Amino acid sequence: MAQTAFHKIFSQLKKILPGWIINPLRNLGTAFFGPILFARRSGYNRSALMRKAVQKDGQPLPWYTYPAIDFLKFRNYDDKRVLEFGGGQSTLWWANKAKTVVTLEGDQDWFTTIEGKMPSNVDLRYVSMETKDINVAQVRDVLESLPYSSYDVIVIDGLYRVYMINIALQYLTEDGIIVCDNAESYDFNQGFIDSGLNRVDFFGNCPGVILPHSTSIYFSPSSFVFDTKYPIPDIAQES
């Protein structure tokens, strides 16, 4: 089990100070240092200052909740294809993990900003957001033009999100997952109600965001990310 300097100091103080002194000090220290250590470990403060999702070393993070990020990052995606509806920092994060990333972005200015920053395994496409029908039609046209019939990870984090559900279900591999960010703000539950997929909600804060949100993952019983072969990581060791 990982120990911080805080733990080590109090471990020594516990040997020389009575409980009525050390216990209030420990409680006060935990209340003060706990949030500080979390913000440092996760990159939360740096994300807030830079106004983009990053790790403590400045490397990209998705703008998902931290519990969802911590769950997803320990899985293996070396031979996996990722499809994103909405791109940015998450695209760079997935590109560093997966074999191929296809990202469809609906904001022309944002598309222009990130277009030149994508690595070679990312296929970034612009699709119009003029209307829902135009957006859905262009998404389908792009996907039908590509050589991939399915994707292992599909992320709904942009475009006309609820209308991406049926498309995601059409292109999802049998053991794949669909990641829905800001799930509490959209009617994802109704959209997936007859899909036959299970759902798990990861509640918590996102990088640099004050209010908590939910990142929800839809999956089948055979989903590769829920394979019990993966050990339970000690995330404190990642700090």
Instruction: Write the pLDDT tens digit of every residue in 118-168.
Output: 999 999 999 999 999 999 999 999 999 999 999 999 999 989 999 999 999
The correct CATH number of 53-238 out of 3.40.50.1100, 3.30.1960.10, 3.40.50.150, 2.60.40.10 is 3.40.50.150
pLDDT at 34: 78
Mean pLDDT of 58-86: 95
For the chain, the domains span 5-42, 53-238
pLDDT band, residue 17 (cuts 50/70/90):
low
Q: Which residue has tokens 């019939």?
A: 149
pTM (predicted TM-score):
0.88
Is pLDDT at 33 greater than 60 in this prediction? yes
pLDDT band, residue 1 (cuts 50/70/90):
very low
Question: What interhelical angle do 19-42 and 5-16 show, nearest 10?
Answer: 180
Calpha distance 41→35 (Å, rounded): 10
First CA to last CA distance, the chain: 12
